[in-house]
């Protein structure tokens, strides 16, 4: 699976949009971009995933560049409860395929 | 939504004892489950892939005789840390993959904090 690069940490003001970038320049054509987050001392939580088109759900939006070499996770109105480590992972689709975590971005939402 | 239950959430044991951690998929059948370990301020490290009815596949550097994995049913996988030592103290997390649907997603348990004295 392709590797990803994320900034180690970011701050965001409560109520503002949080934009978390991810570089995945070696992504293959059949690899999806997945985003998970981990709140302290809990298991990771799925947020969103996409292949090439932008995606939106009740939690976030995922913007993937046309060349698919980078993406941005957008939390439209960050709250204090969104403080977590956010992981961007590229992975081929399939129930038996492993999910390999990188170092992620620690998002700190400030009051 | 899909839920993965992990038990216990916290365990303290003496050095040399064995500890079993259970991971259950509550509302779906999981032919594949994954076990991770996480040290403080570090990312999750994949330890092994647990396959129902067959032997687990371990990642490089993970001792299969130390970390015994059993996936006897489609809803239960167990990880046993044998002869635990203080260096095995860590946060252990399981995940289960729900097949089908619009793109598979992995669901994670809440984790088990193991402290070996």
Q: What is the pLDDT along chain B (117 residues), one digit of tens a residue?
A: 668 999 999 999 999 999 999 999 998 888 889 999 999 999 999 999 998 888 899 999 999 999 999 988 889 999 999 999 999 999 999 999 877 654 457 889 999 999 999
CB-CB: which of A43, A97, A103 is closest to B43? A103
Q: Where are the beta strands (DSSP E) in A1-111?
A: 9-13, 18-23, 31-38, 45-50, 55-56, 61-64, 70-75, 84-92, 105-110
SS3 (DSSP) at B87: helix
Q: Cβ contacts (< 8 Å) between A32 and chain B: which residues?
A: 103
B103 interaction partners in chain A (CB closer than 8 Å): 32, 49, 93
Flag if B110 and A43 touch (Cβ within 8 Å).
yes
**Euclidean distance between CA atoms B72 and A82, whole angstroms:** 37
Whether B31 contacts chain A with CB within 8 A: yes
CB atoms under 10 Å from CB of A7, counted, come to 14
Who contacts B71 (Cβ-Cβ below 8 Å, separation ≥6)? B33, B50, B51, B52, B53, B54, B56, B77, B78
Chain A closest-CA separation from residue B56 CA (Å): 12
The C-alpha atoms of residue B84 and residue B93 are separated, in whole angstroms, by 17
């Amino acid at each position: 699976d392709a590797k990803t690069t994320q900034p180690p940490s970011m701050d965001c003001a409560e109520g503002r949009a949080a934009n978390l970038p991810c570089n995945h320049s070696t992504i293959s054509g059949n690899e999806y971009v997945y985003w998970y987050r981990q709140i302290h001392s809990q298991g990771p939580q799925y947020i969103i995933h996409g292949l090439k088109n932008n995606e939106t759900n009740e939690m976030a939006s995922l913007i993937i560049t046309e060349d698919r070499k980078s993406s941005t996770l957008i939390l439209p109105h960050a709250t204090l409860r969104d403080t977590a480590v956010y992981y961007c992972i590229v992975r081929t689709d399939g129930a038996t395929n492993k999910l390999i975590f990188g170092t992620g971005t620690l998002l700190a939402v400030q009051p | 939504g899909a839920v993965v239950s992990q038990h216990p959430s916290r365990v303290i044991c003496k050095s040399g004892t064995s500890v079993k951690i259970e991971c259950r998929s509550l509302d779906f059948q999981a032919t594949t489950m994954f076990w991770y370990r996480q040290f403080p301020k570090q990312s999750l490290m994949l330890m092994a892939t647990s396959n129902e009815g067959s032997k687990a596949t371990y990642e490089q550097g993970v001792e299969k005789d130390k970390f015994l994995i059993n996936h006897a049913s489609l809803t239960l996988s167990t990880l046993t840390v044998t002869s635990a030592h203080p260096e095995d103290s860590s946060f252990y997390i399981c995940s289960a993959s729900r097949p089908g649907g619009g793109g598979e997603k992995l669901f994670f348990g809440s984790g088990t904090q193991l402290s070996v004295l």
